Chains A and B, each alone.
Chain A
Amino acid sequence: MGKSNLLTWFREFQEKRRRPMQEAKMNMTPMIDVVFLLIIFFMVVSELVKLDIEPVTLPWASEAKEDSNPPEDRIIVNVKADPTGVDHGTIWVNHKLLSPAEFRTKLHEQKIRSGLDKEGLPKISVKIRGDKDVEWKYIQNVMVACTREQVWRVSFGAKPRETLNY
């Protein structure tokens, strides 16, 4: 390499060092698209308000069937347990506290609204989500109300389990 080429090279090298480096720019538009998709996903899968389910600890049952196709006219009745005793054994339907008499009235109204089946019996069904620690007498309050209204389709909410250890 000649002397002039070496000088030229050295001058270019010095210029590159002095020139500020170009900032690496990131195109944010696709990232915002991805983030919006994630937001929509979480909005769709999340259930912010559950009208008919209360937090109860359901009992275990190995023979319980999956409740994937619930009947159309169904009332979900929650019977809560409360160690403090305030809400123990109380009946909750659609986040409302009902006494056994009020529950029977509500059941009667729903029965009339839903109509009768071919046998002349109420079409509605009831799912009792009772806490596992609640006493049997509180569940029986609900069952007696159902029997009085001739609502015979009753099911109990349960958690699936392969084996039971009592």
Chain B
Amino acid sequence: MGKLARDAMKEESDFELPISMIDVVFLLLIFFIVTAKFKQIENRLDAHLPKDEGQNLIKAEIEKPDEVRVYLWVPENDPAGVSIGLNTRDEVNIRDINELADKLKSLKASIEQGGLKITVVLDARKNVKFDYVIGALDACYRAEIEDVKFQAPPIPGGGGSDWWYE
């Protein structure tokens, strides 16, 4: 092989990158460390809706002896809070969600003593924060009540609850 050819080959093999591979690798590593988001644990509360189509017409008054209604509304003096009424929406007879769970437990025991199965209907006004509705649902599950229904909003043509509007 001639001297010129050998020199040319040597020039090709002497090609050097402007940045070393370890620097590139470290940059990639830092990028992925910074952008990594670990999966957050999320839980769920099951809430089965009616299986037939449309909203069931549930009257506002209590019809059955095994049915308990939990009313949730926004108090006038605390727009971010909630007032809770058990079987009444005219007065606040439950202090907080924890007390609701205890009261539901004792109600469940007394209803089941009569051989019936308790049903809870959650009736919340439209402006109640979702946090409190979930709290009420959670209180039902803490009281080991599985049959929980939600009061539907007013249906065009009648039915539902007009109390929801207020």
Cα-based distance from A11 to B141 in the complex (angstroms): 91
Taking a contact as CB atoms under 8 Å apart, the answer to whether B42 and A58 are in contact is: yes
Nearest-CB distance from B36 to chain A (Å)? Answer: 4
Nearest-CB distance from B98 to chain A (Å)? Answer: 6
Which residue of chain A lies nearest to B134 when distances are taken between CB atoms in the complex?
A59
Nearest-CB distance from A77 to chain B (Å)? Answer: 12
B64 within 8 A of A: no
Total interface residues in chain B, CB < 8 Å = 51
B15 contact set on A, CB distance < 8 A? none
Taking a contact as CB atoms under 8 Å apart, the answer to whether A135 and B37 are in contact is: no
Taking a contact as CB atoms under 8 Å apart, the answer to whether A156 and B96 are in contact is: no
B124 contact set on A, CB distance < 8 A? 136
For residues 125 through 166 of chain B, which have their beta carbon under 8 Å from a beta carbon of chain A? Answer: 125-131, 133-135, 137-138, 141-142, 150, 152-153, 164
B153 contact set on A, CB distance < 8 A? 137, 140, 144
Taking a contact as CB atoms under 8 Å apart, the answer to whether A135 and B53 are in contact is: no
B97 contact set on A, CB distance < 8 A? 164, 166
A154 within 8 A of B: yes
Cα-based distance from A65 to B153 in the complex (angstroms): 28
9-residue interface stretch from B5-13, B23-31, B111-119: B23-31
- Within 8 Å by CB of A158, from B37, B38, B44, B142, lies B44
A134 within 8 A of B: yes
Main secondary structure of the interface of B (DSSP, over half): mixed
A67 within 8 A of B: yes
Nearest-CB distance from B132 to chain A (Å)? Answer: 8
Total interface residues in chain A, CB < 8 Å = 58
Known: A32-B21, A45-B36, A157-B42. A135 touches B126 (CB 8 A): yes
Taking a contact as CB atoms under 8 Å apart, the answer to whether B49 and A155 are in contact is: no
Most buried by B among A28, A130, A146, A164: A164
- Within 8 Å by CB of A150, from B35, B42, B52, B98, lies B52
Cα-based distance from A164 to B98 in the complex (angstroms): 7
- Within 8 Å by CB of B138, from A35, A62, A150, lies A62
Digitize B40-70: 1 where CB-to-A-CB distance is under 8 Å, 0 elsewhere: 0111111111111111000000000000000
Digitize A143-162: 1 where CB-to-B-CB distance is under 8 Å, 0 elsewhere: 11011111111111111100
What are 28 A-to-B residue pairs whose CB atoms are below 8 Å? A31-B22, A32-B21, A35-B25, A39-B25, A42-B29, A45-B38, A47-B39, A59-B130, A59-B131, A60-B131, A61-B43, A63-B45, A63-B142, A64-B43, A64-B44, A65-B46, A66-B43, A136-B125, A136-B126, A137-B164, A140-B152, A143-B150, A144-B152, A146-B49, A147-B49, A150-B51, A154-B47, A159-B43
